[in-house]
């Protein structure tokens, strides 16, 4: 049987644990409430927990069971010892003040109070704080938070404090018999109650952090939504800005390039005039390329660019590119070579515009960074499986080459490598855009380069073999008219130059043309003349083209008239609205005459009358044009310049012939005419035949 001493000790222990358990149950909710009220301040929950511990300790002290021995050094003050390591000094102050105040209440009426109880409370509080700061300042401890394994030490320290108070107040006689019950009750209380408190504290802290995280996530979601809306608004503003800038830049280019194309069709121009019109067209195309590069970069970054596959005769396609590059190489006295493997399909389905843009960028860069030597482009068939082919393109030069560091930078937007002399001109966008365009075609541009020896850019793209009969339409001669009844076209554009340029182009092909300067005028003119086709600019004052087309859909006589929408800059939303308004085709300024005629052929079912393409640029018959030429030494120098492709040197030499003797002027004029037209083969043939003819004349005289 358990003796009375241990029975009372056990009863007191159980009563204390029951009281403290109630406080622990309230610890989590009360702490959470205090945290929500105080916000991010930690003082609120700590003070509230201290008050809660103080009330529980006061209730335990008021219990009637306090006998000598084990009960006197029981676990009544254990919460004060735990409060320090658990919640800090603010909790200790709250937990100590309340029971001390309760113990001092009798002194108000009787001037008597329990000194030993007050000392026990203060000692437990002091020991708890001491343990906390020992954890904080103990050297070499990476983790200094209050842990479960610290609880037995708290129990031992609390029991030791109680025993010390007993020894000071009662002497050593009762201390030996109280050591065991004091240690057992305090250690068990510390481990049991402390475990519950730590668990509840961590649970409450986790819930609080979870709520904080949810609040932060909600705030972040709101911020992200605002940022997304701002980004969408910025993207829309950028799209509108780019569309407006494109409109403002392309509108004058429409007239410049349009009239340049019309002049190229005029067979009555002399060599100087033809060369001047070609220069105008090339300069306009260069400016258009810069505009297109900037717009394409924005579209590619936004993922809004798609390939437009068409059937292309590869030889004719490359001939146009080579003609442009050959002019540039001849200006720098460089050799230019082009080769295509015989197994390459003659006609393929590719995005003609994008591939031309890539090749012109690569070839132009090669010419730009090559001062002597040559530039070459080669096309081979990499693989072909059924209807799928893979073409390999190489652009080689003997230019300055690049270092390893420069190779890392060349494909970055707005970056130009090389020395200052070669960097002149361009935006630094060409290679970056070209690489992304090739990526859309299923390939990747790579480069090999050696400083001082040159560079080789190469890439593969996927291509589908095309119907040769469809692609052969590119080889048909120039349109001069159309078969059948005369058709009327209404041109609606607020820019006089664009309006009259299109009118001149269509009138030269036999169309009747009516003009309007805005959408409101267009409705009136269309009702009066009933055109077969309307070319409608989208952006105009008074009434824009989109509103005019919507109103046309509500008028029976105008609803069936096909419309080609024309704009120098339009957003995707406006393009979609045009489609809803019944647009049959969409053309971007500056208008390419060939593309316009293709659309008119489809929409109106026209049959074009074309001239034989072989009569467009007949070879120069130099045999029937006898000239008086300088002596052999001068002709040898002229021939060397012609073989090198140095047109500038050839022109200078021809000018020297005129200064040498007026009788050489007809020959010099012919030489200058051929150089202005960059007809290098005809020039070399003329020089060689005239030199041979002079030798024959010399032999006959002998």
Tens digit of each residue's pLDDT (9 = 90 or more) over 372-382: 899 999 999 98
DSSP H or E segment with residue 463:
strand 454-465
Residues 133 and 186 in one domain: yes
Residues 423 and 292 in one domain: yes
Residues 427 and 526 in one domain: no
Strand duo 563-567 + 585-588: pairing:
parallel
Confidence of residue 698 (pLDDT cuts 50, 70, 90): very low
The three-state secondary structure class of 533 is strand
Share of the chain above pLDDT 70, in %: 78
Nearest Cα to 261, choosing from 496, 473, 502? 502
622 within a domain of the structure (yes/no): no
Residues 502 and 640 in one domain: no
DSSP tag of 620: P
Is 409's pLDDT higher than 80? yes
Confidence of residue 618 (pLDDT cuts 50, 70, 90): very low
pTM over 0.75: no
252 within a domain of the structure (yes/no): no
| Choice among 50-64, 65-79, 124-138 with the minimum mean pLDDT | 65-79
* pLDDT value of position 255: 78
642-653 as b/e: b if 16+ CB within 10 A: beebbbebbbeb
Is 231's pLDDT higher than 70? yes
Condensed to tens digits (0 to 9), the pLDDT of residues 619-655 reads 344 444 568 888 888 888 888 888 877 777 888 888 8
453-474 as b/e: b if 16+ CB within 10 A: ebbbbbbbbbbebbeeeebeeb
Confidence of residue 421 (pLDDT cuts 50, 70, 90): low
* pLDDT value of position 702: 38
Most confident of 319-323, 425-429, 481-485, 652-656: 481-485
Residues 285 and 326 in one domain: yes
CA–CA separation, 325 and 315 (whole Å) = 15
| Choice among 44-48, 69-73, 380-384 with the minimum mean pLDDT | 69-73
Residues 465 and 444 in one domain: yes
Condensed to tens digits (0 to 9), the pLDDT of residues 302-317 reads 666 677 788 888 888 8
Confidence of residue 67 (pLDDT cuts 50, 70, 90): very low
Integer-rounded Cα Rg, in Å, for the chain is 47
Residues 377 and 514 in one domain: no
How is 361-416 classified by DSSP, letter by letter?
HHHHHHHHT-SSSEEEEEEEEEEEETTEEEEEEEEEE-S----HHHHTTTTSTT--
Most confident of 320-329, 462-471, 510-519: 510-519
What tokens appear for 307 in the block? 């390939």
415 within a domain of the structure (yes/no): yes
Is 572's pLDDT higher than 70? no
Share of the chain above pLDDT 90, in %: 13
What tokens appear for 147 in the block? 């842990």
Mean pLDDT value across residues 104-116 = 63
* pLDDT value of position 158: 78
Question: Where are the extended beta strands (E) located within 528-604?
Answer: 533-537, 563-567, 585-588
Among 421, 441, 475, the domain-final residue is 475
612-630 as b/e: b if 16+ CB within 10 A: eeeeeeeebebeeeebebb
Among 208, 237, 258, the domain-final residue is 208
Confidence of residue 525 (pLDDT cuts 50, 70, 90): very high
Most confident of 54-63, 79-88, 106-115, 652-661: 652-661
CA–CA separation, 104 and 120 (whole Å) = 14
* pLDDT value of position 617: 39
CATH assignment at residue 294:
3.30.565.10
CA–CA separation, 640 and 645 (whole Å) = 9
Nearest Cα to 401, choosing from 380, 370, 425, 374? 370
Contact 52, 91 (CB under 8 A): no
Residues 192 and 121 in one domain: yes
* pLDDT value of position 526: 93
- Number of neighbouring beta carbons within 10 Å of residue 375: 29
CA–CA separation, 222 and 472 (whole Å) = 58
User: Which ranges of 39-114 does DSSP label H, i.e. alpha helix?
Assistant: 43-61, 78-87, 89-104, 106-110
DSSP tag of 619: P
The count of residues in the chain is 702
Is 615's pLDDT higher than 60? no
231 within a domain of the structure (yes/no): no
250 within a domain of the structure (yes/no): no
Mean pLDDT value across residues 346-358 = 87
225 within a domain of the structure (yes/no): no
Is 590's pLDDT higher than 80? no
Is 489's pLDDT higher than 80? yes
Condensed to tens digits (0 to 9), the pLDDT of residues 140-176 reads 554 457 777 777 888 788 777 777 777 777 777 767 7
Residues 514 and 576 in one domain: yes
CA–CA separation, 342 and 466 (whole Å) = 16
Condensed to tens digits (0 to 9), the pLDDT of residues 177-199 reads 777 777 877 788 778 777 877 77
Give the residue, 396 or 27, on which the prediction is more confident: 396
| Choice among 224-233, 295-304, 656-665, 672-681 with the minimum mean pLDDT | 295-304
CA dist 451 → 298, 328, 378, 397 (Å):
33, 23, 22, 12
Question: What is the tally of structural domains in the chain?
Answer: 4
Burial of 13 (0-12, 13-18, 19+ CB in 10 A): buried
Domain carrying residue 644 = 632-701
Residues 48 and 194 in one domain: yes
Among 167, 182, 208, the domain-final residue is 208
DSSP tag of 344: S
CA–CA separation, 486 and 584 (whole Å) = 21
Residues 118 and 142 in one domain: yes
Give the residue, 213 or 698, on which the prediction is more confident: 213
What tokens appear for 453 in the block? 């020896």
687 within a domain of the structure (yes/no): yes
DSSP tag of 72: G
User: What integer best gives the mean pLDDT of the chain?
Assistant: 77
CA dist 341 → 314, 379, 380 (Å):
12, 6, 5
Give the residue, 268 or 504, on which the prediction is more confident: 504
Contact 653, 659 (CB under 8 A): no
* pLDDT value of position 623: 42
CATH assignment at residue 506:
3.40.50.2300
Residues 342 and 355 in one domain: yes
Mean pLDDT value across residues 350-357 = 86
* pLDDT value of position 123: 80
What does the CA dihedral 657, 662, 667, 670 come to, rounded to 10 degrees?
A: 90
* pLDDT value of position 619: 38
Is 28's pLDDT higher than 60? yes
* pLDDT value of position 194: 75
573 within a domain of the structure (yes/no): yes
The three-state secondary structure class of 350 is strand
Q: Which residue has the tokens 């030993």?
A: 116
């Amino acid at each position: 049987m358990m003796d009375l001493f241990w029975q009372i000790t056990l009863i007191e222990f159980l009563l204390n644990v029951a009281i403290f358990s109630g406080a622990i149950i309230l610890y989590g909710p009360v702490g959470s409430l205090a945290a929500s009220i105080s916000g991010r301040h930690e003082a609120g929950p700590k003070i509230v927990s201290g008050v809660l511990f103080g009330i529980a300790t006061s209730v335990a002290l008021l219990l009637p069971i306090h006998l000598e021995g084990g009960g006197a050094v029981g676990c009544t003050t254990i919460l004060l010892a735990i409060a320090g390591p658990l919640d800090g000094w603010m909790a200790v102050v709250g937990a100590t003040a309340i029971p001390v105040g309760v113990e001092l209440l009798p002194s108000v009426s009787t001037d008597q109070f329990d000194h030993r109880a007050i000392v026990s409370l203060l000692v437990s509080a002091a020991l708890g704080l001491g343990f906390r700061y020992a954890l904080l300042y103990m050297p070499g401890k990476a983790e200094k938070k209050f842990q479960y394994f610290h609880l037995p030490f708290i129990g031992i320290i609390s029991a030791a404090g109680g025993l010390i108070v007993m020894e000071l107040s009662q002497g050593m006689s009762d201390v030996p018999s109280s050591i065991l019950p004091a240690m057992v009750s305090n250690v068990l209380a510390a481990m049991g109650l402390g475990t519950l408190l730590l668990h509840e504290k961590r649970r409450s802290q986790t819930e609080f952090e979870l709520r904080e995280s949810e609040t932060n996530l909600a705030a972040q979601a709101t911020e992200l939504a605002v940022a997304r809306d701002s980004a969408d608004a910025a993207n829309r503003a950028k799209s509108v800005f780019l569309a407006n800038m494109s409109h403002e830049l392309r509108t004058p280019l429409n007239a410049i390039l349009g009239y340049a194309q019309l002049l190229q069709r005029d067979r009555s121009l002399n060599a100087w005039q033809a060369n001047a019109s070609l220069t105008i067209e090339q300069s306009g195309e260069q400016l258009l390329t810069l505009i297109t590069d900037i717009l394409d970069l924005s579209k590619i970054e936004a993922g809004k660019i798609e390939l437009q596959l068409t059937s292309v005769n590869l030889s004719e396609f490359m001939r146009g590119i080579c003609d442009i590059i050959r002019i540039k190489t001849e200006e720098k006295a460089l050799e230019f070579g082009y080769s295509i493997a015989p197994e390459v399909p003659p006609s393929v389905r590719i995005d003609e515009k994008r591939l031309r843009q890539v090749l012109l960028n690569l070839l132009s860069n090669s010419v730009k960074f090559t001062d002597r030597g040559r530039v070459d482009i080669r096309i081979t068939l990499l693989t072909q499986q059924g209807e799928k082919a893979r073409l390999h393109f190489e652009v080689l030069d003997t230019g300055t080459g690049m270092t390893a560091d420069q190779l890392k930078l060349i494909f970055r937007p707005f970056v130009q490598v090389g020395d200052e002399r070669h960097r002149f001109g361009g935006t630094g966008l060409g290679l970056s855009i070209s690489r992304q365009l090739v990526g859309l075609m299923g390939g990747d541009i790579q480069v090999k380069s050696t400083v001082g020896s040159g560079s080789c850019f190469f890439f593969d793209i996927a291509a589908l073999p095309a119907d040769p009969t469809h692609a052969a339409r590119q080889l048909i001669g120039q349109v001069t008219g159309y078969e059948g009844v005369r058709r009327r076209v209404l041109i609606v554009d607020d820019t006089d130059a664009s309006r009259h340029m299109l009118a001149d182009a269509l009138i030269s092909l036999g169309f009747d043309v009516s003009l309007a300067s805005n959408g409101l005028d267009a409705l009136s003119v269309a009702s009066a003349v009933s055109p077969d086709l309307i070319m409608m600019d989208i952006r105009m004052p008074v009434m824009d083209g989109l509103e005019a087309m919507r109103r046309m859909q509500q008028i029976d006589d105008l609803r069936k008239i096909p419309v080609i929408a024309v704009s120098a800059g339009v957003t995707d939303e406006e393009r979609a609205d045009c489609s809803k308004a019944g647009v049959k085709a969409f053309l971007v300024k500056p208008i390419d005459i060939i593309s316009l005629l293709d659309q008119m052929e489809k929409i109106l079912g026209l049959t074009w009358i074309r001239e034989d393409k072989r009569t467009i640029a007949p070879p120069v018959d130099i045999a029937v044009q006898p000239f008086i030429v300088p002596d052999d030494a001068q002709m040898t120098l002229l021939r060397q310049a012609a073989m090198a492709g140095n047109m500038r040197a050839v022109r200078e030499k021809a000018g020297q012939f005129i200064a040498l003797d007026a009788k050489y002027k007809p020959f010099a004029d012919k030489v200058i005419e051929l150089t202005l037209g960059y007809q290098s083969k005809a020039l070399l043939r003329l020089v060689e035949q005239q030199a041979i003819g002079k030798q024959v004349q010399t032999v006959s005289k002998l």
